[in-house]
Structures are given as C-alpha cells and as structure tokens.
Amino acid sequence: MDKTQLKTQKFIVKFFPEVMIKGTKAKRQMINQIYNNIKSLMDKISEDITIKKFFDKVEVVCAIEVVDEVRQKLIQTPGVELVLEAIQIDNVSTLDEIKVKVNEFMGSEIEGKTFVVRAKRSGTHEFKSTNIEQTVGGYMLANNDTKGVNLKNAEVTINLELIEKQLNIITYRHKGLGGFPIGTQGSILSLMSGGFDSTVASYLTMKRGVKTHFIFFNLGGVAHEIGVKQVAYYLWNKFGSSHRVSFISVPFEDVVTEIFRSTNESYMGVTLKRLMFMAASKIADNMKIDAIMTGESIAQVSSQTLRNLALIDQVTKKLVLRPLCTMNKPEIIDIAENIGTRRFAETMPEYCGVISKNPVTHGSFDKMEQEAKKFDYSVLDKAIENSKETYVDKMVDNINDEVGQLEVVNDIAGKNYTIIDIRQGQNCLEIADVEILKIPFYNLKKEFKKLPLEKEYLLYCDKGILSQLHGQYLRDSENYTNIKVYRPKEK
C-alpha cells in the first residue's frame, strides 16, 4: 500500500525532558496542561481531530487535508520535545504479521539504500524488541532490492513501536519547541517595542511556559502601533494561541513632551524607561501580574549599563525579567531569524533612543532623584488612564474601531483587481484570469511603492488578519488609498 493513500495521519507528541523529571504532582499538572493546550489548538483547526493523552505522550490523529497545519502547530507548541509522524496498524500480534505490514508500507523507502530496523515494545508478547528488528530486517532484505543492512550508518532507519497489539511505524521525526507548557508558569507583562529585542524576549518567556501579555508605549502614532500589533499577533499566533492574552497600548507622546520640559537631557533616556516601568507596574497590578519583562541587554545602549538598569528598577516592586541580559546582538538577531520576527524588526522604527542627547552611562542615584522630582506625574497618570486593552486574537477588530476597516472583497468575478499574496513560505495563490503577485508581508512596504498607482490591489493571507494589519499600515503610513482585502467565500 502507498502511504499517500492513507486518509488519516497519526502524530505522537513527546514531552520536553524537564517535564518528565518533575515530581509526580507537577508532572501530572504539566502533562494535563500540554494536553489541554494541544486540544485547544486542534479544535481551532478541526472538530474531527482525535486526541489521546498517555503518561509519556499525546497522540493526535487528523485527516490528511489538515496535516500540514496540524504538524506546524504541534512543532511550535511549548512543552513539546518531539513530534513523530506514524502509520498506525491495529490488531497485529505475531512477528509474521508485523514483518509483512512494515514491508508493505516501507519497502519502497529502502530501495537502493542501506537500512536498519529499530523497535521498541510495551505490553505482553512472546518475543523481544530484538526479535522484531531481526525478523523485519531479514524479511525486508529478502524482499527488496537494497544495498543491505548497516547497523551503524544506515541511510534509512525504520523505527517501530509495538504497544500491545498496536504497531506504529514512525515515518518522520520533527524537533519540537521544547520548554514548558503555557499556563504552568504564571503570567508576565512584556514591554513590547516591536524591535529585535522585545520580540525575542517575549518568545523566550512563551517558550518557557509563561503566559505573555504585551504592553506598548506609543511614541509614533497609529502606524507605529499597527506595526507593533502585527508582530505581537504573529508571536501569539505562532507560539501562544492556546491562551488568550492582552495587548495594552499606552499613549506616551505627552509623557515625552513632559520629559523634554522637565528633565536634564543626559537623563532623558533613563527617565523614559523609568516612566514606562511605573506605568507597566500599575497596569500589571490591575491585571494581577507579578512580573514585567524587557528586551534589555547589558551595555547594548547607554540606558542599559548596570548602574542605569539599577536606576530604572528603583521605580517598581515587580519582579523584572531580562531574558536577553547577557546576549549580544548577533545572537538575538539569529533567534529573530529562526522564529520569523526579523522581517518585522528590520522595518520597525526605534523611538526610545531619539530623545537622548549626551546620555549618561553611569547615572547618579542622587541626581536621578532630583530629576524625578521635576516631572509632572499627572501626565503619566493621564496616559495610564487613556491606555487601551484588547485581546490579541481580537486585534483586527480593535484596529478597525480606531482607524476604520479596509473594505473586504469576497467576489472578484468580472472585476479588474490585482491580488497580492502576502503569505510567507507558501505557494502563490492561483486563480484563473486574475493577476496575482507574490510579495511576502515583510517586503510589502518596499515593493508596493514600485507598483502602478492607478490599479486597485487586494491583499490576501490565510485568515485575512495580517492583510488587514498590513493594509492599514500602508494606508496610514504611506497614504495609499487603492488597497482592499481579499477573503474568498468559504466553500
């Protein structure tokens, strides 16, 4: 039988090793949380996905049509160490049945190659794992044109798991995200600027099982906020969508104005960070969150020397986490590249640094206290009062309320639109007699300005959310009016 004829696909999800060495109570809690998180994610894909929990794994069975989406979600779920794709065969009890079934599915894989069979079993059987390996290997060697068995450096390894009378043939192994499941390590409020550092720091806490909310201090208007919302949504959707988290936007333009009025120029950068920490701490109190986080790295900029970080931390009683504190910039950029946030960060404006002139690198506690007394804190209180909170999964609705919604087009028949497919790493959308351009979202701003302005363009992505965000960004930052969103009618 050809594997491509299968109607369902089985995934075996193995847990992060640190989960398995926990005490009985903690391990049970984490395994239950991984199961619940996976179930939440799978329910969003299809109600027909079957999920089973075991003491050392979770099994997921889905229709072939959703395999790619299921695989990707499982690989990106915190707490998962390995994702194995398997062919499940039930009611096999003898070595003869096993060897025939394995050869039926895997014979074509070893043609012209060296191979080895590795087996694990659990349950009651009249034979051992080595008997499975020898019997299956010998049968496949005799019935296929191979280069022979190689126990140490085989080109193909056939991995088998026999659990009582259920045989699993492992066809692919995928490295998971690792870490702990979200929901087991509490919540944190991440100061999000949208650049390299804050996005990578947020990813690291999500990976470690921390429910990561986002707080954004807006210094650059609507376009800046939309840009940060894009990357916050991307991170949540990719690594944390098993849980609902918040995005809080705090208008900070007046706070910066007051800093210019009241603060010595060399202390402006440290003062800005202190005020952000004060605001984040008050908002975290309201959300009953014990910790805040930044993407600061020691000595990367003037406000991030040890002395200045100490001056900044003075204003909060919250636990402050800095996951990147000992990383250098190339290391941070490498992580951003791997998780897909580099494209966002490269186009994100950095506003914090522009207000510092001749910044102090080793601030004085006494001088900082004097500068702090000059600031009118009613301005900060007003900014906190005017902050806006929305759930990240409702981000598009929030943006629509603030700046208006781009028109959504469902039917393009007989109309002269050009569609721009902004998805990353997927084949271009194909529709007969329609001009379709492939421009990944991270190149959209640069490439859109090269297109003929007299045409009307429809942005397309899988769910329409990123199309709305990027369309809004182009409209509000570049004043383009010839952009809509394409959402084909569901069949």
Question: Distance (Å, rounded) from C-alpha 454 to C-alpha 318?
Answer: 53
- CA 213/CA 322 separation, integer angstroms: 15
SS (H, E, C) 287-330: CCCCEEECCCCCCCCHHHCHHHHHHHHCCCCCEEECCCCCCCHH
**β-strands 291-293, 319-321 pairing:** parallel
* 3-state DSSP assignment of residue 120: strand
Parallel, antiparallel, or unpaired for β 114-122 and 156-163? parallel
Q: Rounded to 5 degrees, what are φ and ψ at 429?
A: -55, 145
Q: Which two tokens stand for residue 349?
A: 């404006």
Contact 356, 269 (CB under 8 A): yes
Cα separation of 366 and 369, whole Å?
5
Q: What is the dihedral of CA 136, 141, 143, 144, to 10 degrees?
A: 120
Q: Distance between CA atoms of 65 and 88, rounded to whole angstroms?
A: 18
Contacts of 140 (CB under 8 A, 6+ apart): 99, 102, 103, 106, 107, 110, 115, 117, 146, 158
Cβ 252 vs Cβ 217: under 8 Å: yes
Question: Which sequence positions are flagged as catalytic?
Answer: 461
